[in-house]
Structure 1
Amino acid sequence: MGAKAEHVAVCPAAATVVLVPFPAQGHISPMLRLARALAERGVAAIVAVPDFVYRRLVSACGQVRTRVEVELASMHSGVPDDGVGEPPGFAGFARAMEHHMPTSLEAMLTAQRGRGVACLVADVLASWAIPVATRCGVSAVGFWPAMLATYRVVAAIPELVDKGLISDYGIPISTKRLDIGEEGKVNGDHRTSDSLHVLPAQLGLSTAELPWLVGDAASQKTRFTFWLQTMERAKSFRSILVNTFPVEATAADAGTVSQQRVLQVLQVGPLLSLPPKGFDDDGCITKGDDLSHDSTSKNPSMWQADETCVEWLDAQRAGSVVYVSFGSWVSSIGRDAINELALGLAATGRPFLWALKDEPSWREGLPSQYAEAVAGRGKIVAWSPQEDVLRHKAVGCYLTHCGWNSTLEAIQNGVRLLCYPVSGDQFINCAYIVKVWETGIRLPSTNRNVVEDCIERIMEGEEGRRMQVNVDEMRERVVMGEARCAANRNLDSFVDEIMKNENLLARRPCPLT
């Protein structure tokens, strides 16, 4: 996929890495960016995806320009999908990952032996690939596309069960907070034997906001079983690449849980493409580069984006538009919530762009003739070119579910956030946005009056202006500053380790010149 590479690694330094993402857009996008980052450093990167994902991505590749070539490979999944409408959900591909895709991946790794597969990078949620790599004699490295804080919570499952905070099925028994306070205190009391060492106290999160609590009770149990199997397999990782950056938090954030004491963690985020002028010798972005306008960082999507969004934004005043999107993975926020949110957006009198899936479960809550009533001021699309939208000067704030990719894209483009987390890791991300970084506010409900009030606070009030200062400073630090330098150094270190694998590299023939 993509254009011909601008540079080719000199043999014998080149090595091949096979990357296996979890088959959801929020996992595929950062894995593709990781693959490009490795390719920029002379590694031959192959991203192996299920056939239903492959078909959707290939159909979108004609609209994507990249400066380095990443190979996209298809694996048989046994999942019926015509590439139209919603892709298969969790239940649809969970079985495929265990019973169909391992055979395809094993054949792929076997066929690549002549090229010298230095390692396999597996999304932690694609843990099915780990035993395949073991059978093929290929070392496996983990990839976590979200915050390290979320990984710590998942890795703490045994501790949560042992302390009686969740059942053996992952259902909360107690709503105790997932934090420790400063100086060894818990909620003002001295630390007790059942205190946790998972998240900073300032986040204020509880067991009711654990990342596997998605859907109804039956769905939560299924997902928890999946997590247990995932983390058991992940114990074989000696290192893991994490799409995050050092965060400002209390001492608890620097702590470890049992599994992480032997795990090398390399923070490599936020994963972005190489800017036009590249990096300096310290891994920092060359002065004058602006990653927010680097179109080569765009990823293909499994959905067709409505490209008229940018033209519509061009007609709006700078900083005037409220952008609304709840991502591609979570289910609808509900009929009543959609109805109230729609009325709240209309009541602000402000222009808004709303990416709302064209599915009955998502749109049935819209008031009758709503699109017509807000035409000109409000634009509703099924899917937006989000990276283009967030970098547009007309966007003033982003009403988001706080998915990690959306959070990073907002930081990259300096956009304030109005947070409405729905499930999964979104509560953790929201807590950092609101309480640690102070780059957004939480929307407590979609009540029309609450929506109108919060939008006014973030768009016009002093609170919103402070948030804009904070997000601008964070963008400078994370995207352009020392955090970015550290991420690039970690990636360089990882590639250096790959290149040292002389036994595998020796298998790759070097063409005569």
Structure 2
Amino acid sequence: MEEKAGRRVVLVPVPAQGHINPMMQLGIALHLKGFSITVALTELNHLTSPWEDFPDFQFVTIMGGLSESEFKKLGPVEFLIKLNDMCESSFKDCLGQLLQQKQGNDIACVIYDEYMHFAEAAAKDFNFPSVIFSTTNATAFVCRFLLGRFKENWFLALLKGTSGFSVSDLHKSLNSCRAVSMVLFFIEPGEQDKLVPEFHPLRYKDLPTSAFAPLESSLKLYTNVVNKGTASAVIINTASCLESSSLSRLEQDLQAPVYPIGPLHKAASASCSLLEEDRSCIEWLNKQKPSSVIYISLGSLALMEHKEVVEMAWGLANSNQPFLWVIRPGSIPGSEWTESLPEEFGRIVSERGHIVKWAPQKEVLSHSAVGCFWSHCGWNSTLESIGEGVPLICRPFSGDQRVNARYLDRIWRVGIQLEGELERGDVEKALRRLMADEEGVVMKKRALCLKEGVEASVRHGGSSHNSLNEFVDFIKGL
């Protein structure tokens, strides 16, 4: 433990697996710097996670939040919009109670997930400094920043074809706006595969729009997310060796200090899975040959259509590689769990496959038997795979996952992206390219180089290590 800073930091995470983990890792990293940590949880998850694993942290509950059933009914985007509308007053009550307990007088700052922007207004009322924490990467943040700058009515008019402008008119009249080219994705179907100017290698279809909500809702959410208000700085769970140009651009766009301090899972170990992990998969992996197993997990929110699951299954079967497949209950609409799989597939699973409902992913990816990760390319999964030098099969579902997949394929070149409708032949071909061909050997070497780079960034003297120290000095001076 380093010298005590004698100050408290209040953390406000999004109530979802992919956001809570990095927030808790951030809490550990700051606690190791001497800060006291208070975590403000919504009612959705204040009782459902192993918070007893964090005995040195204080936990408070933001009352009046939404239930799990409302989350399922609304979907992630509408849920976050409504949650922000409802929680500001209750969070103010939390901060007031901390003051009454004499624990508010030493609050250094409130650090809130970028999607919990109500916390900024509440902190402002108490004159507490606030800091934004982005659990996605810097490139996706830049894209959201530009999308969030659209005037919604004007943008929707373009979508409906009532603006009176042609595409060429837009370029001529609004050439000074970097974001204007993005509208092409929505108003000209033929533009989806074209590169976005100034965003190489992103195409219009790679931009972080949501599969869970109408575009109007995504724009509304992004408008609030990128409005930093009185926030003093932004911290991001990324490393400069991965996306230095996007970090520089973001700092310029936000006109605020930006601190890349990741990958946090390499700097601060924390386990707070919202789902029960099946550790039988580790015993199964122990029996497999080195670098032979295809690990498949599409995250905590992504959904799979029945036909896609069948094609995945036969592609895996025909690849002749052992596989560990995480199929989350409810992730296949119309199925409770694995009943959508072909009956014949059960025989193949018994011979060289293993299916679980949820897995201890970081432990799985660090296992010597794992040679490939078929992923939805959420940012946590992307960092965890890069951090272990494991190449990926990329099948993004929504939002920033598309950005991550494109970078894995075209910038870092440690992934193969599967696009369009899945067919078993394409699945088998991609798996063989990565697991059996020379291309896979070269990709593995690149993945190991990336691993060395991100590990160096969090070690003493590394870029993320130094950035964290700079951030600590920054909030001490607020």
TM-score (norm 2): 0.83
Q: From 312, 323, 346, give the equivalent of 1:352.
A: 323
Whole-Å separation in 2 of the counterparts to 1:460 and 1:324: 17
Q: Does 1:120 align with 2:110?
A: yes
Structure 1's 89 and 32: CA in aligned 2 closer, same or farther, altered over 3 A?
A: farther
**Is 2:356 the partner of 1:381?**
yes
* Post-superposition offset of 1:86: 7.5
- Counterpart Cα distance in 1 of 2:64 and 2:414: 41
Identify the match of residue 50 of structure 1 among 16, 19, 42.
Answer: 42
Distance 1:317 1:87 in 2: 43
**Aligned pair in 2 of structure 1 residues 78, 476: CA closer, same or farther (>3 Å)?**
closer
Do residues 102 (structure 1) and 88 (structure 2) align?
A: yes
Cα distance in 2 for partners of 1:324, 1:108 equals 40
User: What's the CA shift for 1:119?
Assistant: 0.6
Q: Deviations over 1:268-291 (max 9, x none)?
A: 1111355xxxxxxxxxxxxxxxxx
The residue number in structure 1 matching 2:393 is 418
Q: Which amino acid aligns with 1:450?
A: D
1:181 is matched with none
Secondary structure at the counterpart of residue 421 of structure 1? coil
1:366 Cα deviation from its structure 2 partner: 1.9
Partner residue, 1:317: 289
Matched, 1:477 2:450: no
Structure 2 residue matching 1:17: 3-state secondary structure: strand
Residue by residue over 1:312-341, the C-alpha shift from the partner in whole angstroms, topping out at 9 and shown as x without a partner, is 1111111110000110122x1311111101
The answer to whether the Cα contact below 8 Å between 1:322 and 1:399 also exists between their aligned partners in 2 is: yes
Counterpart residue type for residue 167 of structure 1: L
Equivalent residue runs for 1:22-41 within 5 Å: 22-41=14-33
User: 1 or 2, which has the higher helix percentage?
Assistant: 2
Q: What CA deviation, in whole Å up to 9, does each residue of 1:27-68 have, x standing for no partner?
A: 11111111111001001111211122121113xx56x5x7x8
Q: Are the counterparts in 2 of residues 109 and 117 from structure 1 also a CA contact under 8 Å?
A: no
Distance 1:257 1:206, change over 3 A: farther
Q: Is the 8 A contact 2:136 2:379 kept in 1?
A: yes
Would the alpha carbon gap of residues 154 and 170 (structure 1) be closer, same or farther in structure 2, given more than 3 Å must change? farther
- Partner of residue 284, structure 1: none
- Aligned counterparts of 1:251 and 1:102: Cα–Cα separation in 2: 34
For 1:393 and 1:87, the matched residues in 2 are separated by 40
Letter in 2 for 1:475: K
**In 2 relative to 1, CA 50–397 (structure 1 residues): closer, same or farther, beyond 3 Å?**
same
Structure 2 counterpart of 1:457, one-letter code: R
SS at match of 2:48: helix
- Cα displacement string for residues 188-247 of structure 1 (whole angstroms, at most 9, x for unaligned residues): xxx9667669978684323333213323xx533223222223333x23323100111124
Indicate if the aligned counterparts of 1:36 and 1:273 stay in contact, CA closer than 8 A: no
The one-letter code matched in structure 1 to 2:368 is: K
Amino acid at match of 1:489: N
CA contact 1:16–1:119 (8 Å) conserved in 2: yes
Q: Could you tell me which of 90, 97, 113 is aligned with 1:111?
A: 97
Residues 47 and 461 (structure 1 numbering): CA distance in 2 closer, same or farther, change over 3 Å?
Answer: same
CA contact (8 A) 1:401 1:422 kept: yes
Q: Which amino acid aligns with 2:205?
A: A
Counterparts of 2:238 and 2:244, CA distance in 1 = 17
1:159 CA displacement: 5.9
1:500 aligns with 2:477: yes
Task: Decide which of 408, 423, 431 is 1:433's aligned counterpart.
Answer: 408
8 Å Cα contact 2:237-2:262 kept in structure 1: yes
* Partner in structure 2 of residue 230 of structure 1: 225
Deviation, structure 1 residue 440: 1.3
Distance in 2 between residues matched to 1:302 and 1:247, nearest whole Å = 31
**Larger mean Cα displacement after TM superposition, 49-58 or 25-34:** 49-58
- Counterpart code for 1:473: C
1:409 to 356, 376, 384: 384
Aligned partner letter, 2:137? M
**Partners of 2:94 and 2:246 in 1: how far apart?**
42
Whether the 8 Å CA contact 2:206–2:406 is kept in 1: the answer is: no
Name the SS of the counterpart of 2:156 in structure 1: coil
Match of 1:266 in 2: 259
Separation in 1, partners of 2:246, 2:280: 46
Letter in 2 for 1:311: E
Deviation at 1:391, TM superposition (A): 0.6
Query: In the alignment, which residue of structure 1 is the partner of 2:125?
Result: 135
**What is the rounded CA distance, in whole Å, between the counterparts of 2:243 and 2:468 in structure 1?**
24
CA contact (8 A) 1:121 1:143 kept: yes
Secondary structure of residue in 1 paired with 2:40: strand
1:488 aligned to 453, 456, 465, which one? 465
Counterpart position of 1:208: 205
Which region of structure 1 is more displaced relative to structure 2, 353-362 or 425-434? 353-362
What letter is aligned with 1:266? Answer: Y
Report deviation, 1:256.
Answer: 5.1
Q: Is the 8 A contact 1:77 1:96 kept in 2?
A: no
For structure 2, the residue ranges without an aligned partner over 5 or more in a row are 183-195
Distance 1:168 1:15 in 2: 49
Equivalent pair of 1:19/1:120 in contact (CA under 8 Å): yes
* Cross-structure match for 2:156: 167
Structure 2: distance between partners of 1:117 and 1:325:
39
- In structure 1, stretches of 5+ residues that fail to align are 1-6, 177-185, 275-295, 502-513
Question: C-alpha separation between the residues in 2 aligned to 1:117 and 1:18?
Answer: 7
| Residue of structure 2 in register with 1:302 after alignment | 274
2:431 is aligned with 1:455: yes
Higher deviation after alignment, 21-30 or 73-82: 73-82
| Displacement of 1:482 | 7.6
Q: How far off its partner does 1:78 sit?
A: 4.2
CA distance in structure 2 between the partners assigned to 1:248 and 1:8 by the alignment: 28
Aligned residue in 2 for 1:4: none
CA contact (8 A) 1:202 1:435 kept: no
Amino acid at match of 1:425: D
CA distance in 2, matches of 1:482, 1:81: 36
Q: Deviations over 1:68-112 (max 9, x none)?
A: 833333222343459xx989842456424322x333322221222
Partner of 2:193: none
Report sequence identity in percent: 28
Give, in whole Å, the separation in 1 of the partners of 2:75 and 2:197.
33
Counterpart Cα distance in 2 of 1:171 and 1:350: 48
